[in-house]
Structure 1
Amino acid sequence: MNEQEMKQLFSELLTTAAGMKASEVRADLESTLGAPNAAELLAGWEQENPGYFEVLAADPAALALQLKKFSENRKTAEELERLRMEAGEEVIRKVKETLKRVEKLRPPVETGSRARNGSEGGNRLLRNIIKSITNQ
């Protein structure tokens, strides 16, 4: 391969890479600035990053990239919040099930002097623990 062919190959590679980068930038611009919620997204980004809009306003590609990252981060945060809420609900459900099982294990109510005078102090302790858990 001579020098001329290498220059032409290098030029073709640069043209192809530039075209791919341009199409990627166009896609970012369309997906962020062309989205129905672009104004809301831009306002949220400006609130999170005050003063940066003036810096990036001259470079729409960089602004679109920042907005895309901001949008993805916002979606990730919403998903994490949803998962946290679901996990919290799961914990509450498990605690309620455990309390129901503890209720089933509650010893029968003892009456009479046998309960007061006998060595049944362990049952009284168990009843007090169950009452404190169930707030009865």
Structure 2
Amino acid sequence: MQCNAGQDGQALKARADSVITDFNNYIDVDSTHQAMLFETTYRGLFYAVKIESDACHWIGGYIPPNNGEVELADPGDSDDKTCMSGATWSFFVTFYIGPTFVQPTSPVSFESKLNAHGIFRISGASGDIDERLVQVGDVKANGAIYPQ
């Protein structure tokens, strides 16, 4: 007989920071998940923040356009320790161009604007025994856009 002690470490959840008031700026990642698009200092250039398990790359997701927790992945008991509890995690920033983006005629620099993005929770629920919470604060993205 096998006993399942609960949901510790079995789900990856995320939420946007509560200081974000406009949750209408997002992109559909797939049929069930969305990614919050954060502004840069260059009009029409946005970025999304993602976390991904280094052990199981299919477990990951973006900060959603919601300040309530959204489930990004639930590997279940069979992959729990390998993919979630015992794994290291990587963060990614993906850039997106919106409808107001204008290709510059000379090189233009940009950077991120926010210092509070959201939270990733690697756990079944708030208060679990082995809860792991990652708060994404400053994202130091800066770069340049060059004319084509």
Bigger CA radius of gyration: 1
Q: Return the structure number with greater helix share.
A: 1
TM range (shorter): under 0.3
* TM-score under structure 2 length normalisation: 0.19
